């Protein structure tokens, strides 16, 4: 979904807000246009209604995705 947001149409309409932050901080990971935020939430929560996952596995996947997003935008390089 993030790659799709870099298409010129979606970038200009929605994703440009996210790239207004030039200094890498964990807060820039959560800088979304409201419509883009809803799209990402749908992608994260839709599998819970489709795949039979144990709640602990599902929560672990969500926490990993959010943690990775925060680290990725924090400016810290982890190998």
pLDDT tens per residue, range 18-70: 777 777 676 777 777 888 888 888 888 888 888 888 989 888 988 988 888 77
Q: Tokens 């489709």 belong to which residue?
A: 50
Q: Structure pTM?
A: 0.59
- Cα gap 17→20, rounded to integer Å: 5
Cβ atoms 60, 21 nearer than 8 A: no
Q: Which spans in the chain are helix H?
A: 8-13, 34-45, 47-50, 55-73
């Amino acid at each position: 979904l993030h790659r799709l947001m870099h298409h010129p149409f979606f970038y200009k309409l929605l994703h440009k807000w996210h790239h207004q932050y030039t200094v890498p901080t964990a807060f820039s990971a959560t800088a979304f246009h409201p419509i883009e935020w809803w799209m990402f939430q749908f992608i994260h929560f839709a599998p819970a209604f489709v795949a039979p996952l144990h709640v602990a596995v599902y929560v672990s996947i969500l926490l990993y995705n959010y943690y990775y997003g925060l680290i990725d935008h924090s400016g810290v390089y982890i190998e």
